[in-house]
Amino acid sequence: MSRVRTLDDTEPNTTVNLVGYGPARSCTNPYGVVPNALYNLTETFCARSKVITTTDEVTPNFHRQVNAGLIVMNPYTHVEESYEREPIDWYEARFLLQPLCAGGSMRIELGQRRVGLRSPSVVLGSTFLAAPVLGTQSAIDQAVTAAYAKVSEQDAQGLVILAEGQKTINSFISIFKRLIRIGRALKKWDVGYLRKQLSARELSDRWMEGRYAVRPVVYDMYDIVKAMKRVREKHPFRKTYRSGASASDTVSQTGVVVAVSNPQGLWNIKAQKTATSSVSVRSGVLTAVREITEATIWGLNQPFNALWELVPFSFVVDWFLNVGKTIASWSPAWGINTLASWATVDQTVLQTIQTESATNLWGWPLNCWESAIVATNGYVYKTTRTRTRMINPNLPILPTWNVRLDAAKLLDLAIMGKRFFI
């Protein structure tokens, strides 16, 4: 049975005033005379508002079914839309210049002034910059694939270790021989040989050797120790495997001009618009563990994972496509039954409009009027948060584009590119 619940948390309207003053004249103290008020512009706006809507499923006799061992997992959608508004701080003055005053040379203040606050809606309105579109489905596929891939994880990749054993031994023999030669060169102070070992070619070779010869062996030794120390007798009856993915993007536009009319005047307000979208996906797989065999612990029952690991430069492909995780997600998990799976998608869209500056558009001759002074401040923020839980999402068949690069991997790509393509 579906139900919809709504919560409206909106503050009462706020009232602001913009006061316009008439001419003021003085020869001795032109800025000390309080001018007469011509009008009082009163506006109201809502400073903060929030509306929350939740749609979910009601399970009859929920507690009884859970106590009986039934797994209850229902989809739901939670949407939260909120606004935050700040009024515009407004001050504008324009003074007419007179060359003489009562026979003297002092200028006369003769003009109008506006001071006070205005509603942000009158300038900023509700036209927000469109939020960037993200690959939400791609993030969901990545998270679901990674969660299922963990179900078939093992303590040690036994098949890969056995297949690469001879290559690993040869690599370490080569490393030890090189160290011996460097030691002899140091003893004899063979500057030519030592300089060669410091060349760009040799340094790049040693970097790649450490990254993809020495480091994997260290990880394999750690995995072997972990597999040997695993407790065979005890294992959890149920276990949850989790993973996640995320994406975000921002667009902005500055200098957006909005014309605003006031009594006896017109202004151009420049505003900056920004829109940010972000998505975060958390996926989980609930399993029942029947037994954990030695083959599972040592990775002897995962031939497809091992075959992909043995493909040359498969690790480079996995930097861009999650091929390895896709293969692992479809590999059979021996002794483990999948009970349920889900994906929770959190999406946030933040749209803002912020005033930058204001310009008076009166058509008065510039040689008769002083420059106007206008100070403005105000903004409108709109935040939309959506949380959706999907039950038993489809496991993707094809790999998903997923770039995972850091500084070390970029350096690796540069070295490999120079080695093989230049």
**Locus of tokens 């995320």:** 246
Q: Give the C-alpha separation, 94 to 110, whole Å.
A: 8
Look at residue 67 and give its three-state secondary structure: helix
> Is-contact 245 347, C-beta < 8 A?
no
pLDDT digits (tens, 9 = 90+) for 278-317: 999 999 999 988 888 888 888 888 899 999 999 999 999 9
Asked if residues 82 and 49 have their Cβ atoms less than 8 Å apart, the reply is yes
Q: What value does the mean pLDDT take over residues 177-204?
A: 83
Q: Which residues have C-beta within 8 Å of that of residue 67, sequence separation ≥ 6?
A: none
> What value does the CA radius of gyration of the chain take, rounded to a whole number of Å?
35
337 vs 287: CA distance, rounded Å = 5
Separation of alpha carbons 90 and 15, rounded Å = 15
Structure tokens at 195: 């300089």
Share above pLDDT 90 across residues of the chain, in percent, rounded to a whole number: 36
> How is residue 405 annotated by DSSP?
-
Element housing 3 (H / E): strand 2-8
State whether residue 169 is helix, strand or coil.
helix
pLDDT given for residue 237 in this prediction: 81
Backbone φ, ψ for residue 400 (5° rounding): -110, 140
Instruction: Indicate the average pLDDT of the chain.
Output: 83
Q: How confident is the model at residue 179 (pLDDT cuts 50, 70, 90)?
A: confident
CB 384 within 8 A of CB 80: yes
Band (pLDDT 50/70/90 cuts) for residue 234 is: low
| pLDDT for res 98 | 52
pLDDT for the residue numbered 368: 47
The tokens for 25 are 């004249």
Q: Which of 162-166, 258-262, 415-419 ranks highest by mean pLDDT?
A: 162-166
| Nearest-5° Cα angle at 412, 407 to 416 | 150
Burial 81-108 (b: 16+ CB within 10 A, else e): ebbbbbbbebebbbbbeeeebeeeeebb
Using DSSP, state whether 108 is helix, strand or coil: coil
Assigned token pair, 202: 């040799």
In angstroms, the CA 165 to CA 160 distance is: 8
Residue 100: predicted pLDDT: 45
Return the number of other C-beta atoms located less than 10 Å from residue 30's C-beta: 17
Angle at 99 between CA 98 and CA 102, to 5 degrees: 85
Contacts 24+ apart (CB under 8 A), 409-417: 409/319, 411/207, 412/208, 412/211, 412/316, 413/316, 415/204, 415/207, 415/208, 416/208, 416/313, 416/316
CB 139 within 8 A of CB 279: yes
Domain ranges of the chain: 2-155+230-421
Query: Is the pLDDT higher at 362 or at 171?
Result: 171
Q: Which two tokens stand for residue 201?
A: 């070619």
Strand order in the sheet with 238-262: 2-8, 48-57, 76-86, 379-391, 336-360, 265-289, 238-262
Task: State pLDDT tens for residues 7-35.
Answer: 999 999 999 988 876 654 444 444 444 45
